[in-house]
Structure 1
Amino acid sequence: MYSRMEAAWSVFPYGMVEFLLRSVYDDFDEWPISDTSLRDVAQPRFLHDRDEEAGWESGTNPWE
């Protein structure tokens, strides 16, 4: 992962899939990315952007 603030790369001892799973399940000792919106999400899930858009267009919040 590249840190723009430090202009340096970080290497993790696992692959991208495990990194993404750890991000979704907040399974890091120290949060590795600047975006904290995924932290402490009670029920993490994936929602395709087309499904999200369809939910908003139908007048419902697709994330609830």
Structure 2
Amino acid sequence: MIEFTLPDMSCGHCVRTVTQTVQQIDATATLDIDLPARRVRIASAQPADAFIAALTEEGYPPAAAAPAA
């Protein structure tokens, strides 16, 4: 599971764009989006870097991940 915080994701249009961007990388990926927390979890066999690059290009660069507790 890949998890990102997307500080610029703030509305339903953003969710739709993020979903479409992820599905362009992996059409079989499943997403769990928490809009109030601006967090997206992606279940995919593709590398996280592919999603980071695509999301950044679409205007939703992921914030640096916090270290796991």
Which structure dedicates a bigger proportion of its chain to helix?
Answer: 2
Which structure dedicates a bigger proportion of its chain to strand?
Answer: 2
Which structure would you say has the larger Rg?
A: 1
Same fold (TM over 0.5): no
Bigger relative CO (Cα 8 Å, ≥ 6 apart)? 2
